[in-house]
Amino acid sequence: MLISFKNDYSEGCHPRILEALGRNNLVQQDGYGADIYSEKAKSLIKQKCDAADADVHFVSGGTQANMLVIAASLRAHESVISTTTGHIYTNETGAIEATGHKINAVEGVDGKLTPSHIQQVLDGHSNKPHVLKQRMVYISNSTEMGTIYTKSELKALYTFCQANDLYLFMDGARLGSALMAADNDLTLADIASYTDVFWIGGTKNGALLGEAIVITNSVLQEDFAYHIKQRGAMLAKGMVLGTQFLELFKDNLYFDLASYANEQAMRIKQALIGYGCIFWAETTTNQLFPILSNDQIAQLSQKFAFHHWKKIDENHSAIRLITSWATTDERVEHFIKALKKV
Amino acid sequence: MLISFKNDYSEGCHPRILEALGRNNLVQQDGYGADIYSEKAKSLIKQKCDAADADVHFVSGGTQANMLVIAASLRAHESVISTTTGHIYTNETGAIEATGHKINAVEGVDGKLTPSHIQQVLDGHSNKPHVLKQRMVYISNSTEMGTIYTKSELKALYTFCQANDLYLFMDGARLGSALMAADNDLTLADIASYTDVFWIGGTKNGALLGEAIVITNSVLQEDFAYHIKQRGAMLAKGMVLGTQFLELFKDNLYFDLASYANEQAMRIKQALIGYGCIFWAETTTNQLFPILSNDQIAQLSQKFAFHHWKKIDENHSAIRLITSWATTDERVEHFIKALKKV
Amino acid sequence: MLISFKNDYSEGCHPRILEALGRNNLVQQDGYGADIYSEKAKSLIKQKCDAADADVHFVSGGTQANMLVIAASLRAHESVISTTTGHIYTNETGAIEATGHKINAVEGVDGKLTPSHIQQVLDGHSNKPHVLKQRMVYISNSTEMGTIYTKSELKALYTFCQANDLYLFMDGARLGSALMAADNDLTLADIASYTDVFWIGGTKNGALLGEAIVITNSVLQEDFAYHIKQRGAMLAKGMVLGTQFLELFKDNLYFDLASYANEQAMRIKQALIGYGCIFWAETTTNQLFPILSNDQIAQLSQKFAFHHWKKIDENHSAIRLITSWATTDERVEHFIKALKKV
Amino acid sequence: MLISFKNDYSEGCHPRILEALGRNNLVQQDGYGADIYSEKAKSLIKQKCDAADADVHFVSGGTQANMLVIAASLRAHESVISTTTGHIYTNETGAIEATGHKINAVEGVDGKLTPSHIQQVLDGHSNKPHVLKQRMVYISNSTEMGTIYTKSELKALYTFCQANDLYLFMDGARLGSALMAADNDLTLADIASYTDVFWIGGTKNGALLGEAIVITNSVLQEDFAYHIKQRGAMLAKGMVLGTQFLELFKDNLYFDLASYANEQAMRIKQALIGYGCIFWAETTTNQLFPILSNDQIAQLSQKFAFHHWKKIDENHSAIRLITSWATTDERVEHFIKALKKV
C-alpha cells in the first residue's frame, strides 16, 4: 500500500466531526438546512467574517458551489473571467458551460489574476453585441498552483471589479490553507470585504463533505436558495453539513487543521530545499510542486502516491505533493527519508 | 418540542452507518468514488439486483439523481413523461427544465402511470416536429402518494415503453419502503429487469445522505461518470457514500430499516382505522394520508409536527404522516394516544 | 390543387413589400440592424405605440421572438405562466424549456388568462424554494383560439401582474387581426401601456418574415441585443426586416391587411351561421372554428385544405379556417358555394 | 457616403433572387419548409454534392446554423474543438455555450486546424471524467482569415476525426468564395465526402438571407427538424429560403457570384502588391488583410468604410477589405485610385 500525497481528501474527517455527528444523530431536526446546527454554524461564520449581513449556504462540493454561484449570478448573455489554470476552466467537465455560460480564460501569473489580465479580456470583447458581456471574475485562494493572494492584490482586484461592474468570486476549496500560510496577510473578514461572494472549503480541510458559500453582495443574495434546490445541491439532511461547520468553527479547529497541513508541507519543502530541489511554483500552503528527475520520481513512486503534474524537459517533471490535517509525522518522515535516498 | 412525523429525514443515520464511517475514517482511499468501499458496495448491489452488467453510481440526493439521469439520457429535443404528482414535476424547482428538458405531465391514478396514460401523452404530440419527442417515462416507487407498483403493472409499463422507444426510469427515494410493503410482489431483481435505470434511496432509509443509481440499459451507461462530474454530483470523498451503502447492503440492514418504518406506519394506520378514519390515499408503506377534521388537526398539531397535505372540504383536510427507521415505539404510542383523545 | 385555408402564411408577401425590398436592394447599409430602414421603422412603431422610450427589435419568427424575450427576462429559477393552449406550451418543441425555463400552464378560458388563473398558479407554488418563482405571464392576442382581449381584461391582468412582481408579455403573432376585430377596443398604445413587452407579427400579416419586439419596461430593455445575437436571431442583412416593417407602418398597410383578412373570415362566418353552423370558439378575427359533420368535412376536403382541429363527438369535429391579406374574394366565394352544397 | 468594403452583406440580394421571390409570391404553399421550391432546391443541392442520401435544411443565418448543428449533435458532456479565430469562439455571443457546450479552442495556423492541433486538445483532456469529451471539430472554409483548406488538408482532418470518434463540421458562410478561389482544389462533392455536416452560405453570396445545412452522416440526420423548430430557426414561410437556394443552384449562379467577388478582391490585391504592400494573411478569396500605415488608413477612411482588423505595430495596422457579388468595377477602381494617392 502506497502512502498517498495525492490530495487532501484521501481520508474521512477529523474525529471531532464524527463525534459531533454522533452527538446530534437522533435529535429530530427540520430538513433542507432549517436545522439548528446549520443556523448556529451560519451565525458563527458570519461572525468570523465580520459580515453580519452576509448570507451563508452549505453545499456538498466545490464544483457544485462554483456552478451554483456562477449560474445564479449571471444572466444568459454574461460570462465569467478565469485564469487558464482555474478549476472551473480545466477540471469541472464543463459544469459552468452546462449552465449556459462561457468562461473567458486568460493566462494569469502564478495561477493568479491581476487587473491588467482582466482588462485584457475586456479589451478583447469590444465588438458588442457579438461578444459576451463579462460580469464576474473567478479566482481561487489558494490557487490551483498553491499560491496565495495578498491583501493588496485582492484589494486591487476588487477595486477594479467594482469600477467595471464585475462581481468578484473566490473559490475557497483550500481557503484554510491560504489563510494559514506563513506569508498570508488576509483574514476572513478581509475576504468578505473584498469579494462579492466566496466559499470556505470544508471537504479538503477536515470535513466529510461540505463547503460554505458566503454571499456579501445583497444583489447576489436574492433567491439563492431556489438555485441550490434547482441544481440538486440541497441536502434533505442539511444538518449533516451544518453539524460539521459548527464543529469546525465553534473554536479554532478549521484554522488549526489548515495550519497543521501547511506545517507538514513546509517540513517536506525544507527537506527538498536542503537537497537543492527547485520548484515549479513557489508555495507556502499545503501543495508542493518539486521538480525531480524521472528516475527520482520512479523511485519515489514505489512507496508513495502523488500526481505527475507537468513535464519540464525530457528528464525532469514537476510532481504535486499535498498534505492535509491527516498527514501524520510518520508519513512525512518516511517521505523525507525516501528523498534522502534518491 | 414537537414530535415530528413530517418526513423520513429528520434524524441523522442508523448507528451502524456512523460506526462504519468511523471504522474506515483514517484509511487512505482514492477520491471520486475510486475507493474500495464504493467498489464493494457496487458489487453487492449488482448482486442483489441480479444484474451483473449494471452500472452503479452513488450521488448525494434525489433531485440530483433525477436531473442527472434525465439530462444524461435525453438529447435536446427529447422530453420525459411524468404524472402531475411526480416529484420532478412539483418539487424540484425546475431542475429538469434547467437542464433544457420539458416534463410532459399527465394525471395518473393513485400517483401511478399506466400505458394508457403514456399513450395519451404520445397522442397529444403528433404534430412533429412542432412538439417534443417523448423518450423517457419517469415513475416513483413508492409514489409521492405512498402507493406502490405491482409486478404486473411494472411489467406492463416496461413492455409498453420498449414498444414505443421510451426509457423507463424509476425514482426510488422510498424504494425500500415499497419493497417491504405487505402487498408488494416486486424484488430488486424485478425492478432491474423491468426498468432501464432506477435509483435506490439511502437518504430516507437510514443513510446520512446518498442514493444509488443503477443503470441496466447499456446505452444509458455510456459516459455517465462525465455527467456526474458536470452536474456537481461527484463527491471528492466518494467513500462517504460507498461506506454507507456497503453497510446498508452487506446484510439485510437496508430492508430491515424499511420494514420497521412500514410497521410503525401500519400501527398508526390500524389505530386510525379503528377510530373510523378514512384516507386520501390507500397506502401500505411509510406514508399515511388520513383525513381529519380541522379541529382534530389543530389539536394534534400541538404535540406533533406533520404536513397539511390537501384540503378536502371546508372542515376536513388530509395530513401526511411519515415514519422512518428512527420512529420509536414510544412516539408511535404517544401519537396513538393523542388520536384517542381527539 | 386545393385552395388552402390552413394558415395565414401560405403565400409570400404583399406586393408593396417586394417593391420596397427592390427599391433598397443595392443601397449599401450597415449590417445587423444598423441600417436606416430599420431605424426608421423602429421610430414609426414607437410613434404608433405612443411609447417614445420603448425599444424595438426585429427578428425572423414567432418562436424565436418568444424564446428570446423569455430567456432574456428570466433568471435561472424563474418561470413563465401560460394557458395550456398557449403556443409556447404546445407548438414550439420545448423552445422555452431548452433555454432552461419551465412553463407553468393553467387552463384558461377561451384561450385567455385572467388574474384568478394566475393566482391559482401562484397558490400552487408556495413551497419555496422547492418550486419555481413565477416571474412572467405569457398571453397571445389574438389567441390560439382566435379570441381577443378587451381593454378591461388586459388592464386587469397588467394591474395584477404589477402587484405580484410579474412581467406581462403578449405574443402578437396575429396582433393585427386582433386590433382590427369588430369588437376590439384596444390600440397599439394601450398594449404598450398595459404590457412590459410584446411583439407585432409581420409573418402572418403580409411580410415575407419578421416580427417586431417592443419592450416598454426599461429593466427588460437592458442588453437585449446580446440575446438576439446569442440565440442566432440577428440577421446580417437586418435591412430585410427593417424595410418590411417600414413599408407596413409608413402608412396604414399593416392594419389594412389585417382588416381585409378579418373581413374575409367574417364573410365565411356569416355564411356558416346562415347554414345554422355552431362554432368551437367564438371569434371575430381571421380564424374560424366551425363544427361540422365528418361527412361535410370529408366533402370540403376534396377542394379545400384546412386543419382538423378538435374532435367533438363521433360524428362531428371542429375545423380551423384561416384567412389572410392574400385570401381572394374568389376563394371565399368558392368556399361559400361549397358550403352550400354540403 | 462612404463606399463600403466592410463586409459581403451590405446590399440586398442578387436581382434574380428578387425576381424569383416575385414569381412565386402568390402561389399557395405549405409552410415550414414543405413547399415545392424548398424540395427542389434540396434535390439540386444533393445532386451538386453528389450526396443522394444527405439531408438538407435551410435556416436564416450563420450563428443559427452553427448553434443548431452543434447542439443537435452533442450530448451534454461533449464539446467541440475550434481554432481561437473560429467564428463560434469569437463572434457569436456565447451562442454555443448557451446551448450548454464548451468550445475547446486551440491556436491554429492561418485560421485553420490540422490533426496535430486536434491531438493537442485531446492530449490536454486525459483526466476523465473531470474534463469534457471532445466529439466534434469545427472549421470554416474560407476561414475567418480568408484562407482555404486544400483537399489533402481536409482529407487528413477527416481521416483523423474518423479515427478519433469526432464529427467534422464545416462552417461555409463563405464556402462559395473558397470553392472559387484560384488555388482551390475542393469540390462540393469533396466537402460532402470529407465532413459529417457542413453548410453552404447564402447570406454572404447573393441571398437576402439563408444558409443550407447539408448533413451527410446519418447519425446526425436523425430528428434534426425538431432542433430547427426548438431553436426558433424554422421559418413559417419556408419558401422564402427555398426559392432563393433554388435560384442560386438551378444553374451556376451561386458559383458565378462567388467568382465575381473573388475577382474583384484579386484586382485590389494586385494593386496593393503593385504598391509593395504586404498582408497579414495570404488570401485568394474575397477577403484581404493588407497592412498599411496609420496615416494611409486614415486617408482611405475618408472615402471608404472597412474594418480595422489588427494592430501590427505603433505605426501600422492590418485592415480587412471584403468584396461581394455586388462590388462594382467602379468601386474597385475608386479604391485602386485612392490607393495610388496614399
Given pLDDT bands bounded at 50, 70 and 90, which one contains residue B1?
confident
> Is the ipTM above a cut-off of 0.90?
yes
The ranges assigned to domains in chain A are: 3-9+254-341, 15-251
Cβ contact A94–D132 (<8 Å): yes
Check residue C155 and give its pLDDT.
98
A178 exposed, middle or buried (CB, 10 Å; 0-12, 13-18, 19+)? buried
Q: From the list A4, A208, A236, which residue is nearest B28 (CB)? A: A4
Q: Please state, in angstroms and rounded to a whole number, the distance separating the CA atoms of residues C37 and B334.
A: 79
The pLDDT value given to residue D342: 86
Secondary structure (3-state) at B1: coil
Encode pLDDT of A255-276 as tens digits. 999 999 999 999 999 999 999 9
What 3-state DSSP class applies to A37? Answer: helix
Is the link from the previous residue into B126 a cis peptide, with omega within 30 of 0? no
DSSP 3-state percent helix, strand, coil across chain B (nearest 5): 40, 20, 40
Q: Tell me how far apart the alpha carbons of residues B86 and B171 are, in angstroms, rounded to a whole number.
A: 9
- D3-9+254-341 belongs to which homologous superfamily? Aspartate Aminotransferase, domain 1 (3.90.1150.10)
Write the residue in D12, D28, D230 that is nearest to C25 by C-beta: D12
* Alpha carbon of C61: minimum distance to chain D alpha carbons (Å): 6
DSSP line for B290-329: EEEEHHHHHHHHTTEE-EEEEEEETTEEEEEEE--TT--H
DSSP secondary structure code for residue B233 in this structure: -
pLDDT at C294 over 90: yes
From C90, C93, C101, residue closest to B97, measured CB to CB: C101
Interface partners of chain B (CB pairs < 8 Å, 3 or more) are A, C, D
Suggest the residue from B231, B246, B320 to mutate for an interface test with chain A (most A CBs closer than 10 A): B231
Q: Going along chain A, which residue ranges are E strands?
A: 3-4, 55-59, 78-83, 103-106, 133-140, 167-171, 197-201, 211-215, 278-279, 287-288, 290-293, 304-305, 307-313, 316-322
DSSP label of D32: T
Mutation site for C-interface testing, chosen from B84, B93, B96, B121 by largest number of C Cβ within 10 Å: B93
Q: What mean pLDDT comes out for the span C302-316?
A: 96
Is the CB of B203 less than 8 angstroms away from the CB of A22?
no
Contact assessment for residue B247 and residue B17, using Cβ atoms and an 8 Å cutoff = yes
Bridge partners (DSSP) listed for residue B138 = B169
Q: Tell me, what amino acid is at C298?
A: A
Q: How many CB pairs under 8 A join A and B?
A: 158
For residue C1, pLDDT beyond 90 = no
pLDDT above 90: residue B196: yes
**Reported confidence tier of residue B203, pLDDT bands at 50, 70, 90:** very high
CA–CA gap between residue A209 and residue D223 (Å, rounded)? 42
> Which pLDDT belongs to residue D52?
98
Task: Measure B139 CA to nearest chain D CA, in Å.
Answer: 23
Neighbours of chain A (3+ CB pairs under 8 A): B, C, D
Q: Which residues of A touch B95 (CB under 8 A)?
A: 229-232
Signed CA dihedral, B303, B305, B306, B311: sign only: positive
Residue C217: CB atoms within 10 A of its CB come to: 16
Chain C residues touching residue B76 (CB < 8 angstroms): 98
Q: Which residues of B touch C102 (CB under 8 A)?
A: 94, 97, 102-103
Which pLDDT tens digit goes with each residue over D236-273?
Answer: 999 999 999 999 999 999 999 999 999 999 999 999 99
Chain B CA closest to residue A3: B28
User: Are residues A208 and B237, on separate chains, in Cβ contact within 8 Å?
Assistant: yes
Chains with ≥3 CB–CB distances under 8 Å to C: A, B, D
Res C4: pLDDT: 96
Beta bridge partners of D212: D58, D200
CA distance linking residue C238 with residue D10, whole number of Å: 10
**Please, what is the average pLDDT of chain B?**
97
**Which among A77, A133, A226 has the least Cβ separation from residue C133?**
A226
Look at the domain C15-251 and name its fold: Aspartate Aminotransferase; domain 2 (3.40.640)
Task: Give the confidence band of B230 by pLDDT, cuts at 50, 70, 90.
Answer: very high
pLDDT band at B342 (very low <50, low <70, confident <90, very high): confident
Question: What is the spatial distance between Cα C120 and Cα A185, in angstroms, rounded to a whole number?
Answer: 55
Q: Taking 90 as the threshold, does the pLDDT of residue B69 lie above it?
A: yes
Percentage with pLDDT > 90 across chain D: 99
How close D257 comes to chain C (CA, Å)?
A: 15
Going by the DSSP 8-state scheme, the letter that residue D78 receives in this structure is E
Q: Number of A:C CB contacts under 8 A?
A: 54
Q: Hey, of D125, D130, D226, which one would you mutate to test binding to chain B, going by the most B CBs within 10 A of its CB?
A: D226
Q: What is the DSSP letter of D132?
A: P
Q: Determine if residue C283 is left, alpha or beta; phi over 0 gives left, psi from -120 to 50 gives alpha, anything else beta.
A: beta
Among B76, B93, B127, whose Cβ lies nearest the Cβ of C98?
A: B76
Q: What's the pLDDT score for residue C342? A: 85
Confidence band, pLDDT 50/70/90 cuts, at residue C22: very high
Is D100 within 8 Å of A101 when comparing Cβ atoms?
A: no
A116 phi/psi in degrees, rounded to 5:
-70, -30
Please tell me the predicted confidence (pLDDT) of residue A1.
80
Distance CA A2, CA B193 (A): 41
| Cβ distance of A77 and D93 shorter than 8 Å | yes
Regions of chain D where pLDDT drops below 70 = none
Which pLDDT score, from 0 to 100, does residue C7 have?
96
Check if B3-9+254-341 and B15-251 are the same fold: no
The model's pLDDT over C198-245, given as tens digits with 9 standing for 90+, comes to: 999 999 999 999 999 999 999 999 999 999 999 999 999 999 999 999
**Hey, are the CB atoms on D97 and A97 less than 8 Å from each other?**
yes
Best of B3, B14, B24, B25 to substitute, by most chain A Cβ atoms within 10 angstroms, is B25
Mean pLDDT by 10 residues, chain A (342 residues): 94 97 94 96 98 98 98 98 98 98 98 98 96 98 98 98 98 98 98 98 98 98 98 97 98 98 98 96 97 96 96 96 97 96 88
Chains touching chain D, criterion 3+ CB pairs below 8 Å: A, B, C
> Is 0.95 topped by the overall pTM?
yes
Nearest CB partner across the interface for B97, out of C102, C127, C131: C102
Instruction: Please check whether residue C80 is in contact with residue C138, taking contact to mean a CB–CB distance below 8 angstroms.
Output: yes
